Structure 1
Amino acid sequence: MTKFLAVTLLILSITAFSQTQIKILDSENQKPIPYAKLILKDKDYYKNTEENGEASLENNEEISEIQSFGYENLKVEKYQQTYLLKPHFNDIETVEITKPKFQKSFSVGRVKKNSMGFSASTNSWVIVDLFKNEISDEKIYINRIKIPTEVYKTVKEATFNLVFYANENGKPSLKKLENMVISCKTGKNITEIDLSKNLISFPKEGLFIGFEWIINEQNKYNYTTTVVHIDGTKEKNIIQQGIAPTFKGYESIDSNILSNNHSKWHHIFNGKKVNNSNYSLSIQLELTN
């Protein structure tokens, strides 16, 4: 038992020395910035800070840029233990504010589970779908959003970014319109986001809405699977790492799903059907006037 304990402590000490801790803070109030994105130099994956604004970096990981919605992007030139992000302030033009009437309710999209799923590993991506406004010429708002989510049993509560992009000639805008950090419980659930106190305008041209996974320790889980190689050979009971949650799609007439792996937007199905079907993201928008 003593020898086992000594070996365990040695492994833990080696792991600790192979990592460095950093913290991301708001430059105005010095508060931690949770879930900030760390773009890593010469890596095809990124990391996010934890809820306390901290993150661990391996010795072979070097930050090239730090991003967080509502803040200016920070180019990193040298290593620091603490980084400060400046809040991003936009010049606001005069805007005519229309008060919601809440007289009517509509819905766009569907909450329907299918075998088609979207999941992530440490090499993650952003997935969005186009939600069209085909209701009327009056002002419409998003009141509530419903999303089927699945969180692996070892994760107590998962978080993800619910992202909104403008529809610019059938493509998502370069910059996000809105980003919300959403929590979802363990298991299979319908995660609901109540926007009644902070309605989002739903324009005539519609919106691209979808998910960006948060890559941190909170959302990581290990699972066992069978790996099938190109030559047809199989390896059973292989432990792999995933990032919660998993999302669903459903069969539809056509597909407007696009993904972004941090370079550019592209159609996820490349115009090809999967199992002779097109797919849409399983998201339902509840709208009001």
Structure 2
Amino acid sequence: MKNILLLFISVMSFAQVKGVVKDSVSGKPIPYVTISLENQAKGTTSDEEGKFSINTQTGNLVFSAVGYHKKKVSITKEMNVFMQPKNHTLQDVVILNKLQTKTIEIGDYKNSIRQAFDNGPKIDAKFFPYLTKYKKTRFIKKITVYTDSQIDSAIVKMRLYSVDENGLPASDLLQKDIIVKPKKGIYRNVIDVSDYNLIFPKKGLFVAFEKLFIDKNKVEKTIIDQNTNTVKIQKIYYPFMLYNRIELSGIFTYYGGAWQKIEEKNNENKMVVKPYFEPAITIFLSN
């Protein structure tokens, strides 16, 4: 029995991959990097010191962070990952005549069913198409999202994406992480982005809130496995995102290292509009 136990511990130790993510130029650690097991719904996040761990043995890990080129690396037991920062050319300063005398909210659904979900190691984005009526309120002023958290210390990352030629999220519209600190309980978070002078893109944009798998977001609970009648430690990461159940042609999800649209088509290869759960996100536009 002793030999069997030692073998089990050895296997479990090998299954946990550890590493650190750093800037390839400065050598500094990169916090809150999105780390996905390629083509699988499994992943984690680097902590404030760029460190991460994930239970897996084979395959590739895909690393994604604001301001850096995405990187795919084969899994080894100890990983030192260096990400290359993107080069951003300085643009001419443009004086924007923002009046902010008129504000409209878009993306709200008054009669939707709103529910909280633990969306796991994936990112769900909400698409906001451009409409001609936004011409007079083209500046993105605020973004709101509903969260549910059982702890006060939880944080979540907000990302805004442009739209690629396939209608999927492309590059980040902001070149820095926007970290949101939700209050405990069910809460509507309002994030002021007016200082970034973002103009609503003509192709539309995506807004996503990304769960961070770090210690300050973690709660551990002791549970009884009903199948094996054994005691297990359940790890829960807050906050949960709230979703609207509405009629859509599909939803946009990032997992396994890539964005994809989850949709259903009929026999004529046309998209079927059906109830989906979409993140409860809205945008305030101003003139």
**Shift of residue 42 of structure 1?**
7.9
Aligned length, in residue pairs: 266
Could you tell me how far apart the structure 1 residues matched to 2:35 and 2:17 are?
14
Match of 1:266 among 261, 264, 276: 261
**Shift of residue 93 of structure 1?**
6.9
Match of 1:185 among 169, 183, 195: 183
> Gaps spanning 5+ residues in structure 2: where?
1-5, 266-271
Give the match's secondary structure for 1:158. Answer: coil
**Shift of residue 63 of structure 1?**
5.8
Give the match's secondary structure for 1:83. Answer: strand
Match of 1:209 among 196, 207, 222: 207
Residue identity over aligned pairs, in percent, reads 21
Could you tell me how far apart the structure 2 residues matched to 1:255 and 1:238 are?
39
**Shift of residue 280 of structure 1?**
4.4
Which residue of structure 1 lines up, in the alignment, with residue 238 of structure 2?
Answer: 244
Could you tell me how far apart the structure 2 residues matched to 1:131 and 1:106 are?
14
Change in Cα spacing, 1:17 to 1:213, as seen in structure 2 (3 Å) is same
Match of 2:98 among 100, 110, 118: 100
Give the match's secondary structure for 1:76. Answer: strand
Q: State yes or no: 1:110 paired with 2:108.
A: yes
Match of 2:172 among 173, 176, 181: 176
Change in Cα spacing, 1:206 to 1:114, as seen in structure 2 (3 Å) is same
Change in Cα spacing, 1:127 to 1:38, as seen in structure 2 (3 Å) is closer
Give the match's secondary structure for 1:33. Answer: coil
Match of 2:63 among 66, 79, 91: 66
Deviations 1:102-137 (A, max 9, x none): 23212112286844333223xx22211222343343
Which residue of structure 2 lines up, in the alignment, with residue 38 of structure 1?
Answer: 35
What is the RMSD of the two structures over their aligned residues, measured on CA atoms? 4.1
Could you tell me how far apart the structure 2 residues matched to 1:20 and 1:103 are?
53
- For 2:238, give the aligned amino acid: A
- For 1:103, give the aligned amino acid: T
Deviations 1:199-255 (A, max 9, x none): 322123432222232233333334588999xxxx9x9x9864433221223354546
Deviations 1:165-216 (A, max 9, x none): 2245782233333453323233221112111222322123432222232233
Change in Cα spacing, 1:164 to 1:45, as seen in structure 2 (3 Å) is same
Q: State yes or no: 1:49 paired with 2:46.
A: yes
Deviations 1:123-171 (A, max 9, x none): x2221122234334346111111211111x2x44222232222245782
Which residue of structure 2 lines up, in the alignment, with residue 199 of structure 1?
Answer: 197
Give the match's secondary structure for 1:201. Answer: coil
Give the match's secondary structure for 1:117. Answer: strand
Give me the TM-score of the superposition, normalised by structure 2.
0.72
